[in-house]
Amino acid sequence: MNIHGKNFIGTTLSATGTEHSQAYHLKSGKALDGEFISATEHELNQAMELAFAAFQDYKRLSQSRRADFLEAIAHEISTLSDEAIERVTQETALPKARIMGESARTIGQLNSFANLLREGSWLEATIDLAQADRQPIPKVDIRRMMVPIGPVAVFAASNFPLAFSVAGGDTASALAAGNPVIVKAHSGHMGTSEMIANAIIIAAKKTGMPDGVFSMLHGPGRTIGQGLVKHPILKAVGFTGSLSAGRLLFDLANARPEPIPVFAEMGSINPVFVAPKALELHGNDIAKQYAASITLGVGQFCTNPGLIIGLAGNDLDQFITTLGHEIALIAPATMLNQTVFNGYQKSYDTLISQSGIQSEAVSDQEAHSTKCEAPSTVASVAGKTFLSNAKFREEVFGPFSLIVKCADSKELEAVLSRLEGQLTTTIMAEKSELDGFASIIEILSQRSGRILFNGVPTGVEVCAAMQHGGPYPACTDSRFTSVGTAAIKRFVRPLAFQNWPDESLPDELKNSNPLGIWRLVDNNWNNNAIA
C-alpha cells in the first residue's frame, strides 16, 4: 500500500514542513508504511483560504449536487480493499469485524444525509405571505430557510477511526449543510486518515466539487489544532474527545474577535440506576448484560456505562458478585493507542487510591502482551462516600465501572442530583416500578440527552430521532446532536428574505416550489406551489 504521509490542501498534496510522525503496528510495535509530515502555518493558511474560495461556490450548489457528492464518498469508502481494512486494524488494534461494521455505519451516515438533502424539510423553509390590506398596518412578505455558515474544522476522534473521524458524522453533516471541511487528522490512525481523505478527494473530483471543499492536515493539537480554531476564516468546530481538549478549543473559540461555535462531545460516565425489583428478579441477567457493555470495544465508547447505582442490600451484593465473576472472565485487550492506555491507567490508579473505594473484580485472564493491554475492572463505593468525593464522578475512559451502594432512597436522589451532564442515563426497572421512581426519572432526564429504559447505552443508532449530546460537560451545547441526520443543524443558520421578487429567491422559497419540498406556508405544512 502506497502511503505518502502528505497533507491534503484541497486536491493538492503538500509536505513542506520538517516535523514528522511515524505510524506503528499497535500490537507488535513495528513501524508501518508512511512518514506523516506535520503541516506548517503556511499550509494551514492555504487550506483555509482555499476553503473560503470553495465556499462561495459550494454553498450555491443544489441539494441534489451535494447529495451526489456524499453518495460518491460513500461509494469510494465501500471500495476500500482488504489491505486498507488491514491497515485500520494494525493502527487501532480493533478487530476486522468491528472495522467492517464501522465502515457500514460510515457509509450509511453519508447516504442518510444525501437522502435528507433530497427530501428538503431540514431546511425549515417557512413562508409568511404578504397581506397588503391588513389593519392597522400591512403585512410584509417574509420567507426564511437554513443556510450554511462557512468553513468547518473537524477534529477526528480516536475511538471510531471511520465513523467519527475523517469522513464521520461531523464531516458528513457539515458537507451536507453546504460547508467546506478541514479535518485535523488524529495521530492514532494517520494511515487510515490518509486513505479516507483520498476517497473524499476522488469523490469530489468525480462529482465536480470546487477545489478546497475538503482538506486534511497532520500535526499536533497545540499548533495545527489551535491554529485552525483561531483562524479568522473558520466558522465552526466539530470535536469528539477529552474534556480538557474540548474545553481548550471552546475557550479559544470564544476568545476570538469573532467567537464561533464549538460543538464538542467531551465525555460522560453514563450512569445506570438499577431498581430494586429489577435486581430481585433479573439481577444476574442484568449483570451479564452490563459486563458485556462495560468491556465492549475495551470500554472505549463515549456511552460506556461507567457508573451503576442501586440500593444497598442482598440483591445488589449478588449483582456485584455476578458482575465481578463475568468481568474476571474477560481477557485484557489492547486499547487504541499508548496515550489512551496511559490515560486509562492514570485515571484508574487515581480513583482506586481514594479512601472508601473497594475493588470488586479485575480481569484474571492472562494478557497476550504488555503493550496497551488494559484489564477490565469493577469497583464499589458507599453512597455517602461517593457524595463526599468529586473524584468518583470523573470519567475513567476504558473498561471500568464504579458501583454506588446507596443506603436509602433519599441518599439515592442525592447521588443522582450530584451528577453532572451526561450523554446518556439509564433506568433498569420493572414497568410496575416506574411510577414510584418519578422523581428519579426526572433527575436522570435533566442530566442527559438520552434516557434509556431496560437496555445498555452502548450502541448508538444512526437515525433522525437520535440525540447524542447532553448538558455540560458531556457537550458544549446540549441543544444539538452529533449522531443522526439532525446533526446537520449545527452547521447552518437561519436567513430571512423580506419582500424579495420571486424570481430572485432561492428555489427553496419560490412560489412554484420547484424542488417539491415541504414548507410551512402561513402556518400550514404543505409541498404545494403558491398560487
Give the active site residue among 43, 71, 265, 395: 265
Q: Is 360 a catalytic residue?
A: no
The HSE-up count of residue 100 (CA atoms within 13 Å, CB side) is 6
Cis peptide before 136 (omega within 30 of 0): yes
Beta strands at 236-240 and 262-265: parallel, antiparallel or unpaired: parallel
H or E segment to which residue 202 belongs: helix 190-206
> Buried b vs exposed e over 500-525: b needs ≥16 C-beta within 10 Å?
eeeeebbebbbeebebebbbebeeee
CA separation for the pair 506, 207 (Å, rounded):
22
Q: Identify the CA nearest to 102 among candidates 213, 192, 182, 4.
A: 192
What residue type is 179 in one-letter code?
A: N
Three-state SS at 35 = strand
Query: Do 376 and 327 contact (CB within 8 A), yes or no?
Result: yes
What letter does residue 509 receive in the DSSP assignment? Answer: G
Beta strands at 236-240 and 152-155: parallel, antiparallel or unpaired: parallel
Q: How far is CA 362 from the centre of its chain?
A: 29
What residue type is 83 in one-letter code?
A: E
Three-state SS at 227 = helix
Three-state SS at 232 = coil
Give the active site residue among 71, 76, 102, 302: 302
Q: Identify the CA nearest to 300 among candidates 92, 493, 488, 453.
A: 92
What residue type is 8 in one-letter code?
A: F
Q: Exposed (0-12), middle (13-18) or buried (19+): which is 414, by Cβ within 10 Å?
A: middle
The HSE-up count of residue 29 (CA atoms within 13 Å, CB side) is 6
> How distant, in Å, are the alpha carbons of 26, 32, 318, 385, 403 from that of 323?
30, 39, 9, 21, 10
Q: Is 265 a catalytic residue?
A: yes
What residue type is 187 in one-letter code?
A: S
Q: Exposed (0-12), middle (13-18) or buried (19+): which is 251, by Cβ within 10 Å?
A: exposed
Q: How far is CA 440 from the centre of its chain?
A: 27
Query: Do 64 and 115 contact (CB within 8 A), yes or no?
Result: no
- Catalytic positions, please? 265, 302
